[in-house]
């Protein structure tokens, strides 16, 4: 995996950082590989559970996935997000689609559209509406910060069928790109992960077939649908943590190379206060990187062993999001001119890592989830 | 194969230690800290669990079960969550035993290990810290010079736990530019144990400055064949142990602060309902977990017989930093009440600071 990152991603990392929105043709080699699939179903009970949670996954897949993601992001995080057919929408489809939906949409590149101008962390407050009109759903609203907006074939859109029902009214709908009333309005110009296309969609009386409501009948009728989708985040949080780890490690490895070239090898024995300032900072970052990784692997391991890992997943993202950012910032500082020059990738890693503490649940939300969990307090008791 | 769950055996060991702490230490820790004293009875209770003789092979008088760094880490965390000084004192015999088992020659094992199979608490100790500014266990200023089949030791060590009770003192010194450990029997002329030291903590642990003035010991008391490499191996074990101890102290602080914050009402609701407090508690929670996982990673390397230099160093470095951070939050969450000795968080804070500074103390 590391060879892939080094051989394929690193050489093109700067190119797509500079040429924001250019399509990374080099990644087309991944098109044949189905990264987010679903294992062959054996019996009827293998249908996705009613809560719309995770389908049965092969043993060890979460741990191997986080390890792979770390390596790929050591290569380039923006490019990882741009791998064909590996959108967040693909994960949702793999998890909850019916057989028919999987057949129709399973091979497409699917993005996920949740966030709106007025709904960020409070994803339960989304206002995009879906109204049933005969054989069709009619969608209206605006979605922002959609990853793979330009390159995807379809988008899993969260919309509410009944605003008064709150979270219970939220469902997901599959909208294909060329559907009338569905338009890619703009692509964002970002601080980092510039290789990843992030865009805004407008839904203007967008009509989709009734069958495009994602999931089985139970998912459709149950109010647990929202909670179920939130549960899939228990699996994606460690993955984002891994992204942060990969980027931070890239920065740290680069710093280490410079230190070694200068003649200072970490010795792991001396009093840390007797080494140079830069060495001590290096040790502290290395220790934090270990902590980030162990928390993340624990969460992934628990998922693989079918243990409920809500707090552990949030812990991993809380720690990794925050520390990953600090590590990349500190490395730029310690690298001096090499840390701010665009001749090297360090400054890009600092820009790339910042988003890891923001998307898929901000660090503040992660801390809130951990806090509520360890304190045994509800969202009413701890806002 | 990576695993984040304890085995049945490990769970039992952890629970046994936790139960003992709950029954014996939890309610007495405050008074022990005020008195600066651990009753012998408490040391013997732990001794009677048999952990030290368990480590010692049968041919030397023990039960021969072997020592497990992972098990020791679990036990140390539990004991330290009760009281840090107790954790060190109770497990101190194991430190001596581990060193001899790991690095000693066959005659040394035969000679020293049987003493630690006694019926009541019997301990050795490790003298590895030095007093001067920027002291470093891998650059000891204590010297060892070979002379006519003897070794002459000169120098001074501090933070030597239970020195007055130790049957044997393991001393770190520099011999011909290499670091080595030497076994000094109690009452050896030239070794002087000073007055008990006064430290910020742990108050329950007796520590001493031990001076060596032309202290002569037989050359055969140099531990093992005394390569620098071996000296470092002791540090791998002691650093992992300090990491486990730091985890225990931090955990105790987190649990106390968490429970307090749910009970303490201000502005009409528990303070745990305010993000500024809740976020401190969340950080305490995941940093304790991080410290523990790093401890386990180092202990696993030791258990497998792999090189634990990097993992033990990073675990201790992290634990030193985080034990301070977490115990600081512990006092902060309790506010003014965290500042008085009625609550244990001030004790955790004082003890938490020592993790980054200390070396030796315990081994896994």
A251-292 pLDDT, tens digit each: 999 999 999 999 999 999 999 999 999 999 999 999 999 999
Per-residue three-class SS string for chain A: CHHHHHHHHHHHHHHHHHCCCCCCHHHHHHCCCCCCCCCCCCCHHHCCCCCCCCCCCCCCHHHHHHHHHHHHHHHCHHHHCCCCCCCHHHHHHHHHCCHHHHHHHCCCCEEEECCECCECCCHHHCCCEEEEECCEEEEEEEEEEEECCCCCCEEEEEEECCHHHHHHHEEEEEEECCCCCEEEEEECCCCCCCCCCEEEEEEEEEEEEHHHECCCHHHHHCCCHHHHHHHHHHHHHHHHHHHHHHHHHHHHHHHHHHHHHCCCCCCCCCCHHHCCHHHHHHHHHHHHHHHHHHHHHHHHHHHHCCCCCHHHHHHHHHHHHHHHHHHHHHHHHHHCHHHHCCCCCHHHHHHHHHHHHCCCCCHHHHHHHHHHHHHCCCCCCCC
**Residue A135 contacts B, CB cutoff 8 Å:** no
**For B8-121, CATH number?**
1.10.540.10
Which is the CATH superfamily of the domain at B228-357?
Butyryl-CoA Dehydrogenase, subunit A, domain 3 (1.20.140.10)
Instruction: Find tokens 């939300």 and name the residue.
Output: A365
Question: DSSP secondary structure string, B284-333?
Answer: HHHHHHHHHHHHHHHHHHHHTT---HHHHHHHHHHHHHHHHHHHHHHHHH
What's the average model confidence in pLDDT over B85-89?
98
Residue A208 φ then ψ, to 5°: -130, 155
Name the residue among A271, A273, A377 with its Cβ closest to that of B272.
A377
Q: What is the topology classification, in CATH, of domain A2-225? A: Butyryl-CoA Dehydrogenase, subunit A; domain 2 (2.40.110)
Lowest mean pLDDT among A36-45, A350-359, B1-10, B21-30: A36-45
Provide the sign of the torsion angle of the four alpha carbons A331, A334, A340, A343, taken in this order: negative
What's the average model confidence in pLDDT over A232-247?
90
Name the residue among A291, A371, A377 with its Cβ closest to that of B279.
A371
The model's confidence at residue B229, banded by pLDDT at 50, 70 and 90, is confident
Instruction: Find the helix packing angle between A310-335 and B275-303, rounded to 10°.
Output: 80
Residue of B nearest to A64 (CA): B2
Question: Which among B178, B313, B359 is the top mutation candidate for probing chain A, defined by the most A β-carbons within 10 Å of its own β-carbon?
Answer: B313
The model's confidence at residue A94, banded by pLDDT at 50, 70 and 90, is confident
* Residue ranges of chain B whose CB lies within 8 Å of a chain A CB: 2-5, 134-139, 232, 235, 258, 261-262, 269-270, 272-273, 275, 278-279, 281-283, 285-287, 289-291, 293-294, 297, 309-315, 317-318, 321
The model's confidence at residue A131, banded by pLDDT at 50, 70 and 90, is very high
pLDDT at A34: 61
For residue A270, which residues of chain B lie inside 8 Å, CB to CB?
136, 138-139
pLDDT at A383: 95
Lowest mean pLDDT among A194-198, B48-52, B64-68, B140-144: B64-68
For residue A272, which residues of chain B lie inside 8 Å, CB to CB?
317
Residue of B nearest to A298 (CA): B4
CB neighbours of residue A327 within 10 Å:
30
The model's confidence at residue B147, banded by pLDDT at 50, 70 and 90, is very high
Domain ranges in chain A?
Answer: 2-225, 227-375
Q: For chain A, what is the radius of gyration of the CA atoms?
A: 21
CB contact under 8 A, B137 and A271: yes
Indicate whether A42 pLDDT > 50: no
Name the residue among B281, B290, B318 with its Cβ closest to that of A371.
B281
- Rounded to the nearest integer, the mean pLDDT of chain B is 96
- Rounded to the nearest integer, the mean pLDDT of chain A is 90
CB contact under 8 A, B282 and A318: yes
What's domain B125-221's architecture? Beta Barrel (2.40)
Indicate whether A330 pLDDT > 80: yes
Where do you find CATH 1.20.140.10 in chain B? 228-357
What's the average model confidence in pLDDT over B303-321?
97
- Which of these is catalytic: A20, A261, A360, A381? A360
CB B296 within 8 Å of CB B338: no
pTM value? 0.93
CB neighbours of residue B363 within 10 Å:
28
CB contact under 8 A, B278 and A268: no
DSSP secondary structure letter of residue B278: H
Could you tell me if the ipTM is greater than 0.90? Answer: yes
**Residue A297 contacts B, CB cutoff 8 Å:** yes
Q: Which CATH class is domain A227-375?
A: mainly alpha
For residue A302, which residues of chain B lie inside 8 Å, CB to CB?
4
- What is the spatial distance between Cα A188 and Cα A146, in angstroms, rounded to a whole number? 10
pLDDT at A58: 66
* Six-digit token string for B222: 């140099």
**Residue A379 contacts B, CB cutoff 8 Å:** no
Question: Does residue A211 have an active-site annotation?
Answer: no
- Averaging pLDDT over each range in A232-236, B48-52, B222-226, which range is the top one? B48-52
Residue of A nearest to B316 (CA): A287
A348-364 pLDDT, tens digit each: 999 999 999 999 999 99
CB contact under 8 A, A295 and B286: yes
- What is the spatial distance between Cα A372 and Cα A320, in angstroms, rounded to a whole number? 19
The model's confidence at residue A244, banded by pLDDT at 50, 70 and 90, is very high
A313-324 pLDDT, tens digit each: 999 999 999 999
Where do you find CATH 1.10.540.10 in chain B? 8-121
Instruction: Find the helix packing angle between B309-334 and B275-303, rounded to 10°.
Output: 160
**Residue A371 contacts B, CB cutoff 8 Å:** yes
The model's confidence at residue A223, banded by pLDDT at 50, 70 and 90, is low
**Residue A271 contacts B, CB cutoff 8 Å:** yes
Question: Which among A282, A365, A367 is the top mutation candidate for probing chain B, defined by the most B β-carbons within 10 Å of its own β-carbon?
Answer: A367
For residue B2, which residues of chain A lie inside 8 Å, CB to CB?
63, 297, 301
Name the residue among B5, B285, B294 with its Cβ closest to that of A374.
B285
């Amino acid at each position: 995996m590391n060879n892939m990152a080094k051989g394929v991603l690193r050489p093109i990392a700067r190119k797509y950082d500079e040429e924001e929105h250019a399509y990374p043709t080099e990644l087309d080699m991944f098109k044949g590989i189905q990264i987010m699939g679903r294992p062959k179903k054996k019996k009827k009970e293998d249908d996705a559970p009613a809560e719309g949670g995770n389908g049965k996954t092969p043993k060890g897949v979460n741990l191997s996935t986080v390890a792979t993601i770390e390596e790929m992001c050591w290569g380039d995080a923006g490019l990882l997000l741009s791998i064909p057919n590996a959108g967040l929408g693909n994960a949702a489809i793999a998890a909850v689609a019916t057989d028919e939906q999987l057949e129709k949409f399973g091979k497409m590149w699917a993005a996920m559209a949740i966030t709106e101008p007025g709904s960020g962390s409070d994803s339960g407050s989304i206002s995009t509406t879906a109204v049933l009109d005969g054989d069709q759903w009619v969608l209206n609203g605006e979605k922002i910060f959609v990853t793979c907006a330009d390159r995807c074939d379809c988008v899993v859109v969260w919309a509410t069928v009944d605003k008064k029902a709150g979270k219970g009214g939220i469902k997901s709908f599959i909208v294909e790109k060329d559907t009338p009333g569905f338009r890619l309005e703009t692509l964002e110009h970002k601080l980092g992960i510039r290789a990843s296309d992030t865009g805004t969609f407008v839904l203007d009386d967008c009509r989709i077939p009734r069958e495009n409501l994602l999931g089985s009948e139970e998912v459709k009728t149950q109010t647990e649908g929202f909670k179920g989708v939130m549960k899939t985040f228990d699996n994606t949080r460690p993955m984002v943590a891994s992204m942060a780890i990969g980027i931070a490690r890239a920065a740290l490895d680069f710093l280490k190379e410079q230190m070694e070239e200068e003649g200072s090898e970490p010795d792991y024995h001396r009093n840390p206060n007797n080494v140079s300032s830069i060495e001590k900072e290096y040790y502290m970052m290395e220790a934090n990187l270990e902590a980030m990784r162990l928390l993340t692997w624990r969460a992934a391991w628990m998922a693989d062993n079918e243990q409920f890992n809500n707090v552990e997943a949030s812990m991993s993202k809380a720690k990794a999001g925050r520390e990953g950012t600090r590590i990349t910032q500190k490395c730029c500082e310690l690298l001096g001119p090499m840390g701010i020059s665009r001749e090297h990738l360090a400054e890009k890693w600092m820009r790339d890592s910042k988003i890891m503490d923001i998307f898929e649940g901000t660090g503040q939300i992660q801390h809130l989830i951990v806090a509520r969990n360890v304190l045994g307090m509800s969202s009413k008791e701890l806002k | 194969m990576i695993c984040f769950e304890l085995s049945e055996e490990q769970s039992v060991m952890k629970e046994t230690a936790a139960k003992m702490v709950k029954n014996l230490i939890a309610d007495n820790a405050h008074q022990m800290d005020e008195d600066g004293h651990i009753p012998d009875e408490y040391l013997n209770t732990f001794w009677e669990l048999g952990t030290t003789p368990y480590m010692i092979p049968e041919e030397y008088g023990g039960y021969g079960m072997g020592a497990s760094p992972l098990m020791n880490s679990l036990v140390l965390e539990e004991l330290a969550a009760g009281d840090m000084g107790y954790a060190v004192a109770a497990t101190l015999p194991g430190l001596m035993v581990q060193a001899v088992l790991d690095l000693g020659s066959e005659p040394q094992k035969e000679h020293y290990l049987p003493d630690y199979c006694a019926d009541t608490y019997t301990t050795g100790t490790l003298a590895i810290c030095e007093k001067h500014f920027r002291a470093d266990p891998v650059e000891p200023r204590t010297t060892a010079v070979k002379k006519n089949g003897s070794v002459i030791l000169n120098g001074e060590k501090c933070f030597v736990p239970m020195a007055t009770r130790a049957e044997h003192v393991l001393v770190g010194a520099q011999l011909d530019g290499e670091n080595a450990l030497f076994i000094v029997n109690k009452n050896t002329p030239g070794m002087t144990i000073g007055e008990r030291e006064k430290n910020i903590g742990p108050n329950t642990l007796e520590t001493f400055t031990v001076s060596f003035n032309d202290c002569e010991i037989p050359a055969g008391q140099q531990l093992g064949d005394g390569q620098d490499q071996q000296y470092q191996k002791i540090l791998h074990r002691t650093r992992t142990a300090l990491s486990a101890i730091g985890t225990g102290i931090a955990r105790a602080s987190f649990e106390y602060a968490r429970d307090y914050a749910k009970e303490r009402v201000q502005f009409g609701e528990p303070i745990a309902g305010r993000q500024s407090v809740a976020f401190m508690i969340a950080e305490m929670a995941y940093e304790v977990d991080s410290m523990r996982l790093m401890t386990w990673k180092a202990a696993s390397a030791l258990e497998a017989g792999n090189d634990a230099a990097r993992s033990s160093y990073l675990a201790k470095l992290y634990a030193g930093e985080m034990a301070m951070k977490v115990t600081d939050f512990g006092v902060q969450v309790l506010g003014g009440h965290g500042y008085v000795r009625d609550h244990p968080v001030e004790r955790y804070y004082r003890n938490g600071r020592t993790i980054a500074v200390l070396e030796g103390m315990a081994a896994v």
